[in-house]
Every structure is written in structure tokens, then in C-alpha cells.
Amino acid sequence: MLLKDRRALITGASRGIGKAVAEVFAEQGASLVIAGRDDGIQQLAATLSKDRQPVFAVQGDLTDESHVHELVATCRREFGGLDILVNNAGVLTQALIGMMSLDPVRHMFEVNLLAVINLTQYAVRLMAKSSSPSIINLASIAGTQGIEGVSAYSASKAGVVGFTHSAAKELATRNIRVNAIAPGFIDTDMTRSLPDDWYQRRVEGVRMGKQAGSPRDVANCALFLASNLSTYVTGQVIGVDGGLAV
Amino acid sequence: MNENRLVRCFTESLGVSENIVNDQLAYRAIPEWDSVGHMAMITALENEFDVMLDTDDIIAMSDFGKAKSILTKYGVTFDAS
């Protein structure tokens, strides 16, 4: 198992990519703290911990500082530290330039970018004694290439890319690796909420089979970045997009 | 008692001797207490006193004396000196 005796914190784990990451990490032997806004996070913890390592669920909103404190306190209390942080939680609001209300844009930046920065600041303190600490941020092809119709979302994810590069440089002195994954078009509740014609146009751009990727495709990349298979990899943004960005 | 624990956090995380740790010892006043040393010291404090410091308090912890006053907010008591 690639993550035996490793301790991971995963945000946005209720569904989609975050849930797949939690499943893969649990299969590979990691103990988990999983965070999500939905009631389902508790059920997921119960399922994942059955006959395996402990999984603790913390339900809440990452824009709420008390929720962040509870997450960090749970890692400290239950694990005594942390090896892996997966900053996955994100929201997407679609609107054309000229038709964007700023309130949902602000909220999107708070969840997609500010929460990443905030939680990373706490997590690095928990990683002080880890032998192989790794931070994995979920960016997006929208943040590396841009996608029309989601410019504000793209900007928030571009911020994640910039933060990843800078954090990798800054935290290398502490042996903490920081990488990002830029998923392309992945079949999740988030992408399924987009208009049909928009969805179809994106899928047609995928070179590998003209189909959306699965959350598991992204989770497997996260597994690589979390494990000792990637101990010499930091500051990278890895596309998981079936050739969409090529 | 807690002052001794605090001094030990400083000496062990910054790699300095006990005789230079006093209320006036300030951030960046010695090479060992740089930004990297600061975060190592914060981690040591949090582990030793089982507290979770707010980011504003981490930034404000600019000398040893301030470390004591900030930790007091988190329920750590020190004898009056």
C-alpha cells in the first residue's frame, strides 16, 4: 500500500473528485480527516473506515474560521500531526463578463483560493515532524488555459497555480512538497450542472476518447503526488485532462 | 514552570542557548530567528502548550515577552517577573 501509516486531510470530500481521493487514499492505507459541507460526509467516513484505518469526518464551511480550527484540531488530536493535505474544495459560478454579480465571485474566491491559503498555513505547522509531507492543490485547466464563460472561476484557479509555485519554493526548505493538479473535463456534479451545449463542446475537445474523465483519474494522480513515488516532484501543475490542453 | 517550557521551545526550535533568551530577544535580532525559525518555534509552542495560534498572533509574536503575553490569551499562565 502506497500510503500506509500516512495521515491525510482532504477538503471537499463529500462528492466528486474529493470523494474519489478519499476512497483511493483509504484503499492505500492512509488515515483520514475528511471535510465537506454535506451530511453525506459522516456516512462516507463510516464507509471508508470499515475494516480499515480511522476516518474522521468534519462537516462545515471552509470560509468559516471555526470550521478550519476544528479541522486542524482534529488532525492534531487524532493523529498528532499531518503528512498530506489535499486542498480540493471548490465552487463554480458560470457567468459571462458583463453579467457577473460580485457577491458570488467573492464567495468563489473565498472558497477556491483564500481557503487554500488559510488551511495551508495551519497545515504546514502540523507537518513539522512528517518524514514526507505533501500538499496537493486542485487547480483546473480553466486556471492554466482559460475557458470562456467561467472567467472568474479561471482567475481563482490561476491563483491556486500561483500559490502552488510560490509555496513550493518557500516550503522546500522544510522538505514540504507542494504540487497542483489541473483537471480537464471531469464527470462530476459540478460539471453536470453546466449547460448541455457547453458540456458537449468541452467533451468534443478531449483527445482521449472524446469523453469526460472520471474523478478516479484525478484521484490516481493525487495518489502519486501524495506517495513516495514523487519525492523529487514539487512546484508542478499536472494536467489530468485526456489531452484537452495539448 | 511554564516560562521554563517556553524557553525550552525557543532554544530547541531556534537552536540557541538559554542565556540569550530573555524578554527582549526579538524576531530577526539573531540569525536563527528568521522566518523559517519563527514557524518552527510556533510549531513547538503549539505542541508544547496544546494551543492553536491565530495567524494574527503569529505575526504579532515579535519578541519573547510578546510570546508570553500572547500565550496568556490562550490560557497559559506565567509567574509575574
The share of chain A scoring above pLDDT 90, in percent, equals 88
**pLDDT mean across residues, chain A:** 95
Q: CB neighbours of B44 closer than 8 A, spacing ≥ 6?
A: B9, B10, B12, B13
CB A99 within 8 A of CB A143: no
The residues spanned by each domain of chain A are 7-240
Q: Which amino acid is at A232?
A: Y
Q: Which residue has the cell 486542485?
A: A138
How many CB atoms within 10 Å of residue A210?
10
Look at residue B35 in the predicted model and tell me its pLDDT: 85
Across A197-203, average pLDDT: 84
ipTM: 0.74
What φ, ψ does residue A127 adopt, rounded to 5°?
Answer: -90, 5
Pick the CATH number of A7-240 from 3.90.228.20, 3.40.30.10, 3.40.50.720, 3.30.420.10: 3.40.50.720
B24-60 residue pLDDT tens: 999 999 999 998 889 889 999 998 998 999 889 999 9
Pick the CATH number of B2-17+27-72 from 1.10.1200, 3.30.310, 1.10.287, 2.40.50: 1.10.1200
The residues spanned by each domain of chain B are 2-17+27-72
CA distance B80 to chain A (A): 30
For A128, the closest of B40, B52, B55 (CB atoms) is: B40
DSSP A171-215: HGGGT-EEEEEEE-SB-SHHHHTS-HHHHHHHHHT-TTTTSPBPH
Across A110-139, average pLDDT: 95
For B46, the closest of A69, A125, A173 (CB atoms) is: A125
pLDDT of B80 over the 80 cut: no
Residues of A with a Cβ under 8 Å from any B Cβ are 69, 72-73, 76, 118, 121-122, 124-125, 128, 173-174
Look at residue A100 in the predicted model and tell me its pLDDT: 92
Look at residue A189 in the predicted model and tell me its pLDDT: 86
pLDDT of B81 over the 80 cut: no
Look at residue A195 in the predicted model and tell me its pLDDT: 83
CA distance B20 to chain A (A): 25
Q: How confident is the model at residue B69 (pLDDT cuts 50, 70, 90)?
A: very high
Which segments of chain A are extended strands (E)?
7-10, 31-36, 55-59, 84-87, 134-138, 177-183, 237-240
Whole-prediction pTM value?
0.91
Rounded CA gap, A23 and A11, in Å? 13
Which residues of chain B make contact with A124, given a CB cutoff of 8 A?
Answer: 39
Q: CB neighbours of B9 closer than 8 A, spacing ≥ 6?
A: B41, B44, B45, B48
CB A68 within 8 A of CB A40: no
A46-60 residue pLDDT tens: 999 998 899 999 999
A180-199 residue pLDDT tens: 999 999 999 888 887 888 88
